[in-house]
Each structure stands twice: as C-alpha cells, then as structure tokens.
Amino acid sequence: MAAAVLTPIEEIVDERLERRGVTVYMKRDDLIHPSVPGNKWRKLKYNLEAARNEGRKTLLTFGGAFSNHVYAVANAGHIYGFQTIGIIRGEEHLPLNPVLAHAVECGMQLRYESRERYREKGSDAYITELRSLVGDDFYLLPEGGTNELAVKGAAEVVDEIDVPADVVCCACGTGGTLAGLVVGLARRGQGAALGVAALKGAGFLRPEIQGLVGEASAPWDLSLDFHCGGFAKVTPELLGFIADFEERHEIVLDPIYTGKMMLGLFKMAEQGRWSEGMSIVAIHTGGAPRSHWSGLS
Ligand SMILES: *Cc1c(COP(=O)(O)O)cnc(C)c1O
C-alpha cells in the first residue's frame, strides 16, 4: 500500500530574501504521497481512519469541477479500498476535464448539482435526500475536506519542522490547513501562522478559521492581498513568478495556491514586512499536476 513519507525541508536561497535578511525554508509536502498530494493527504489521513473504523465502504464529497480535494478523494478511495462519490457543482461538460477524467478512472461516481442545489449541500434535507439516492453507507467529507479531523492531520506538519520558524505560512482555500498550523504552533509554543488567501474577499474565512482552531492559541493572520483576481484566476505577474521560481529553485509551484503564497511571501519581504533575522517556513501544500493547469486565465 502506498504510504506517506516524512517530507524534507529545504532552504530557499535567493538574493531577494538575502537582501532583506530573511531566511525562508520550504517544507516539501508536495512530496508527501505518490498520488494524494500535499495538504490533501494530511487532511484525509484521520478521516480515512475514521471511515474505516466506522465500517464505511464509500467516501462521499463535494467540489467544483477543478477541485484538488475531489481529485485527492478519488485517488485515496482507489488506493485504500473505498468506493467514492463526488458531487460536482454545476453542469457536466464533456469531454471531462483532466481532474474529473482522472477521478472517473479511479472509479469515482460523479453526480452534478445545479449551483442553487449545490448551495443547499450542508442542509439536513439535502443529506437526507442524498441518502435515499445513493444509500446510507457513506462517510461524508465536506467541501475542501475541512473538518476537525482534517485540522488534526494538518497540525502534524508543524511537529515535523526542525528549523527555526518565526512564521509558518500556507495558502488558504477553506482555511482548514491554516487552522491546523495554528493548532500545531500552539502545541509547539512558538511561532505565528500566516495564510495567503487564494480567493477574493476571503475575510469571511477568519471567524471560520477561529472556530476550527478553538481554544488553541498561537498568533495567526490571513493575508487577503495576493489572490491575483480571484480563485483559479492568474495574472502574467503570477505566471512569470512561478516560471522564474522553478528556474531558480527547481521547485514547481501551482498557480492556484502555492504560487500565490510564494508571490505574496516575496512581495511581503520586499515591502519590509519581516524584520532582519526572521525565519519563515512556507508549506508547499502540493497542488494539481501541471497538466491540469491549462485554461486558467
Ligand atoms: C486545497 C489546497 C489548499 C487549501 O487548503 P485549505 O485547507 O482548504 O485552506 C492549499 N494548497 C493546495 C495546493 C491545495 O490543493
């Protein structure tokens, strides 16, 4: 059975950081698992365990047509012996995009919901109806996979950081990973968490993240300044930064999440946000393979 590995931490040696006296490390969680990338693996880990302990045979989840989470669940189900059902927002478009085509290859059953219906997905009425349609025996993973067990898994990345970490940084979609960093840093007793939002107008995430964090206390912040136009939107500056970063450091960033985080981090360094001598650990949360990026604009 494919298993997760202890991922390396690499220093990003870059004159733009040296000039500011800031040290940046990257925790290479993109290498954590051969087919369930990055933070999606961490967030699924305890959920898969719970599904198994409850004797569930099926994982059911929700997402948009390009969801890394849906992709990860399809892979995890295939590898760990669960059937999978993906409820996809919007209409079916054929041919399927690479994310959904791969999900189907993994055996995932797709169901499409109109945007209006999709909004109801959290309601009891919707879930009851779903049970009558697909049966009772599923383990429900929320959109983006964020729940308490996901936060527990995401927190573990902090325990693996063996370099100085004044700030630990991640990209934010639902905020589950950031909440995990806060919980992990509270346990470590040192360091602050910083999320970089991948979507526009993500201020609404702050109370949700606080709710996920609960009593754990470590300082944290969410930057709203580097979404580059919105979720899955890109700018020439972002794409240029990603290409240049790969050339300099031989690390591939994805344009939806990790590219925006690193662009933000470098810009914040340039703006003098961090004092000299600070040490920052950026989590490479993985992301979709390059073949899935085409068509972003
Ligand atoms: C899903 C994803 C995120 C966002 O994680 P959340 O816990 O939803 O905030 C960040 N980076 C990558 C690469 C992702 O695939």
Report how far ligand 1's centroid is from the alpha carbon of 202 (Å): 14
* Cα–ligand 1 centroid distance for 134 (angstroms): 28
- Angle CA 44–49–52, to nearest 5: 120
More confident residue, 289 or 47: 47
Ligand 1 centroid from CA 39, angstroms: 6
Reported as a single tens digit per residue, the pLDDT across 46-57 is: 999 999 999 999
Instruction: Give the whole-angstrom CA distance, residue 171 versus residue 183.
Output: 16
Here the tokens at position 253 are 């960033």
Q: pTM for the full model? A: 0.96
pLDDT at 287: 85
Q: DSSP characters for 244-293? A: HHHHHH--PPPTTTHHHHHHHHHHHHHTT-S-TT-EEEEE------GGG-
Beta bridge partners of residue 196, listed in sequence order: 171, 223
Instruction: Map residue 71 onto helix, strand or coil.
Output: helix
Distance, CA of 257 to CA of 199 (rounded, Å)? 9
Burial 269-280 (b: 16+ CB within 10 A, else e): beeebbeeebbb
**Ligand 1 centroid, distance to 257 Cα (angstroms):** 7
Atom of ligand 1 nearest to the CA of 150: 7
The protein residue with its alpha carbon nearest to ligand 1, atom 4, reads 173
Q: For residue 179, which atom of ligand 1 is closest to its CA? A: 7
Ligand 1 within 6 A of 153 CB?
no
With a 6 Å cutoff on the Cβ, whether 145 touches ligand 1 is no
132 Cα–ligand 1 center, Å: 31
Q: Amino acid letter at 76?
A: A
Share of the chain above pLDDT 90, in %: 88
The CA 61 to ligand 1 mean position distance, Å, reads 15
Ligand 1 centre to CA of 248 (Å) is: 24
Which ligand 1 atom minimizes the distance to the CA of 287? 13
Pocket test for ligand 1, best of 26, 177, 178 (most atoms within 8 A of CB): 177
pLDDT attached to residue 288: 76
Asked whether 23 lines ligand 1 (CB < 6 A), one says no
**Cα 171 to ligand 1 centroid, rounded to whole Å:** 6
Q: Are 273 and 18 in contact (CB under 8 A)?
A: no
8 A C-beta contact, residue 193 and residue 178: yes
Both tokens of 69, joined, read 């989470």
Tens digits of per-residue pLDDT, 61-103? 999 998 999 999 999 999 999 999 999 999 999 999 999 999 9
pLDDT of 203 reads: 96
> Model confidence over 232-253: pLDDT tens digits?
899 999 999 999 999 999 999 9
Q: Can you tell me the mean pLDDT for 161-178?
A: 98
pLDDT of residue 34: 86
Our mutation pick for probing the ligand 1 site, out of 35, 45, 257, counting the most ligand atoms within 8 A of Cβ, is: 257
Report whether residue 195 contacts ligand 1, using a CB cutoff of 6 Å.
Answer: no
- Asked whether 167 and 142 are in contact (CB, 8 A), the reply is no
- Mean pLDDT score across all residues of the chain: 94
